[in-house]
Chain A
Amino acid sequence: METLQEFFSFSDPSIIAVTVGAVLLSASSAVVGTFTFLKKKALVGDAVAHSVLPGICLAFILSGTKNPLWLIIGAFVTGWLSLVIIDNITLKTKIKEDTAIALILSVFFGIGILLLTHIQHSGNAAQTGLDSFLFGKAAALVGKDLQVFGIVAIVLLVTVALFFKELKLIAFDASYAKALGLPVKGMDLLLTSLTVLAVVTGIQAVGVVLMAAMLITPAAAARFWTNDVRIMTVLAAIMGGVSGLSGAYVSYVAPAMPTGPWIVMIISAIALTSFFIAPKRGIISRGVQQRRLQRMIMDENLLKELYHLGEKDADIYKARSIEEIVEERFFPKDRLRSSLRRLRREGFITKENGHWRYTEAGRQKGQRVVKLHRLWELYLSKYMKIDPDHVHEDAETIEHIITPELEKRLEKMLEYPEVDPHEEKIPY
């Protein structure tokens, strides 16, 4: 608790630099990542992260200094070049995008390693610290770095805010954007430049490999909570910021701990949690919905079969044994039993001496499903000109989905028909 207070009192200026730097970096790359994620180009960030290495080394060899400006320009050039080459390979040969990305990122990185080791072996004293681009040095951020990060973060955020609508449009529907007269190529260029810029600065904090996570993971997590791009962008920024803050805190409490990997661990934990528990899109909620739907279909099918049995002996309210039901249509025993129990609890059927009988409400519901099934069969054969032999399967699915409004329209359109295409009576 004491360390927590100590940390958040920011009494130590180096804590401020590390924390603010980590938060700014995580949040701004999360914002840019949102759009590459939506364009389904998430791994492009990974490619750029690996491809900046040869640029940094070349800039060092050519300029002979570690002046961050030169290094960033070098990184920018090769990062950019890699994306152009990936696009060209995918466009002009039969090689697919995933192969092109994997190839270019590893080749550029290999060239970078060759240059880096060459520089290191050359004994140039100025070179120490170049490898911070490989592994990041989030815990060693100082005030000067903070200025650079601050400026880059502001540039990124302001650009995204200014071109928000256009970026959104090209992410979802580039051809529509083109038809509207938007400069799609220019916007693509802008997004690429933003990605490269985010990578070039972010890589110094978390390193080559983990940079991809800074772009992809917050966006992937945010996507699970909303369908609105604006909210998603803000959410991704907040999630990124929180993980940056926590990462800085961890490395403050345990100085031996690397900050970058901890930021990634925390944002990954947020993402994994989101994948499972997010409402609507989350795995758990999806599973629950699916089960609910399965149960509803099972219950409706069961009530429908009771109606079919009643039609056969012209006694709708006769009590039926489980064997009779299974003979009419096969249901797995355990699912049948639990469905019967459920329907009884909900008052659609009653149980007498081990036999099951419709209640008034149950009869109504079963009859409605039968009616919808037969109406739909008639609709398909009459309006869609589908052969009566082929309409059953389709009706079997749609009978559970048709809403009361659609039901009314079907009845009206078909003028309350008496029988379906198989000459079976449609009950009202």
Chain B
Amino acid sequence: MDAFYIILTATLFAISCGLLGCFLILRKMAMVGDAISHAVLPGIVIAFLLTGTRDSFEMILGAALIGIFSTFLIEFFHHKARLQTDAAIGVTFTWLFALGVILISVFAGQVDLDQECVLYGEIAYVPIDLWIGDNGTIFGPRALYVAAMTLIVNVAFIRIGFKQLHLTTFDPAFAATIGVSVSLWNYLLMGAVSMTTVAAFDSVGAILVVALLVGPAAIAYLLTDRFQTMMIITVFVAIVSSALGYYLAVWVDGSIAGAIVTIIGILFGITFLFSPGHGVLMKKRLQRKEAQRLKTEAPLS
């Protein structure tokens, strides 16, 4: 049962992250996602100090605000100070992350957070942390509910705003001319990324969230040219890598989150080489065939 809970929680988070990731990588904002996943740390610490718990509604809200704030900072440095985007991202997230670490050590006694948990979380504790009702009924692991809620919110967000998200991703200029606010949807998407990051923080940590955001979506991107298909493949990859990752972790006796990411890496490697349309080896074979055909057919000789 424990294995089932862990895999289910991981899968739900992976699907949430993957769906958002599809938009991120097509918007060339993968590194902004990376930045947000680090930058929410001070928000988490402050919310923790104010509310005293780790999975409260206020915390998710506070972190979402910090995520949007860091997106704003990156844009601000880029546009107002004309700092190149990569440097704007690098300066912003390291600064906020450093602030978070300092806050953790200042309030070490009051904050139940440590640096390891920040970096790679601990999903193995999911089945232990149960949600128990007032009358003593056990509803199951708390993280599972958080993951399910996150997925529901994200799916709702993407369903309701699909047209606008799609449009602002593929043709922002056209979107602007028909009155869809590009920056509003950008901030909404970043808000969703921040919220998901925070919700998944406990389980998978800051850096592995990035792998879940980018990995499945990148694999799917190499397998299809249609956006809807890409999202479906992403969900599939998220499920497979969560399950395989769990058993890899059990086998080598290591971090489950780390193992899930390792599986994502392996799957990406396979896709990179063998994807029918975009794989490196497949492209080479096509080229060879084409060269052969030209040689044998040799027209006008």
**Cβ–Cβ contact A43 & B210, under 8 A:** no
Give the dominant DSSP class at A's interface. Answer: helix
Instruction: List residues of chain A with CB within 8 A of the CB of B278.
Output: 93-94
A interface residues, Cβ below 8 angstroms from B = 37, 40-43, 45-46, 50, 88-89, 92-96, 98-99, 101-103, 105-118, 121-122, 131, 134-135, 208-210, 212-213, 215-217, 219-220, 223-224, 256-258, 260-262, 264-265, 268, 271-272, 275-276, 281-283, 286
Which partner residue on chain A sits nearest B259 by CB separation? Answer: A114
Of B99, B102, B116, B213, the contact of A257 (CB 8 Å cutoff): B102
Stretch at the interface among B29-37, B63-71, B130-138, B177-185: B29-37
B81 at the interface (CB under 8 A from A): yes
Closest 9 CB pairs of A and B: A110-B261, A213-B94, A113-B258, A114-B258, A106-B211, A107-B265, A216-B90, A268-B95, A264-B98
Instruction: List residues of chain B with CB within 8 A of the CB of A99.
Output: 25, 28, 30, 214, 218, 221
**Cβ–Cβ contact B218 & A95, under 8 A:** yes
Q: Which of B261, B265, B278: most chain A CB closer than 10 A?
A: B261
- Measured in the bound complex, the distance between the Cα atoms of B259 and A209 in whole Å is 20
Contact (A210, B98) CB under 8 Å given A43-B89, A50-B207: yes
**Cβ–Cβ contact A98 & B98, under 8 A:** no
Contact (A114, B94) CB under 8 Å given A42-B86, A95-B221, A258-B105: no
B5 at the interface (CB under 8 A from A): no
**Cβ–Cβ contact B87 & A216, under 8 A:** yes
B268 at the interface (CB under 8 A from A): yes
**Cβ–Cβ contact A212 & B90, under 8 A:** yes
B128 at the interface (CB under 8 A from A): no
Instruction: List residues of chain B with CB within 8 A of the CB of A219.
Output: 87
Instruction: List residues of chain A with CB within 8 A of the CB of B265.
Output: 107-108, 110-111
Contact (A113, B120) CB under 8 Å given A99-B25, A220-B83, A283-B80: yes
B13 at the interface (CB under 8 A from A): no
Contact (A102, B97) CB under 8 Å given A41-B86, A95-B222, A113-B257: no
Instruction: List residues of chain A with CB within 8 A of the CB of B94.
Output: 209-210, 212-213, 216-217, 264, 268
- A101, chain B: closest CB distance, angstroms: 6
- Measured in the bound complex, the distance between the Cα atoms of B89 and A123 in whole Å is 39
- Measured in the bound complex, the distance between the Cα atoms of B87 and A219 in whole Å is 9
- B76, chain A: closest CB distance, angstroms: 9
Excluding A108-B265, A131-B116, 8 further A-B contacts by CB distance (< 8 Å) are A42-B87, A105-B210, A106-B214, A114-B258, A220-B83, A258-B102, A281-B82, A282-B81
Contact (A118, B95) CB under 8 Å given A42-B87, A107-B262, A275-B81: no
B101 at the interface (CB under 8 A from A): yes
**Cβ–Cβ contact A107 & B211, under 8 A:** yes
Instruction: List residues of chain A with CB within 8 A of the CB of B187.
Output: none
Instruction: List residues of chain B with CB within 8 A of the CB of A224.
Output: 81
- Measured in the bound complex, the distance between the Cα atoms of B207 and A209 in whole Å is 9
- Measured in the bound complex, the distance between the Cα atoms of B268 and A112 in whole Å is 17
B7 at the interface (CB under 8 A from A): no
- B275, chain A: closest CB distance, angstroms: 8
Instruction: List residues of chain A with CB within 8 A of the CB of B208.
Output: 106, 109-110, 113
Of B91, B218, B253, the contact of A213 (CB 8 Å cutoff): B91
Of B90, B106, B211, B249, the contact of A46 (CB 8 Å cutoff): B90
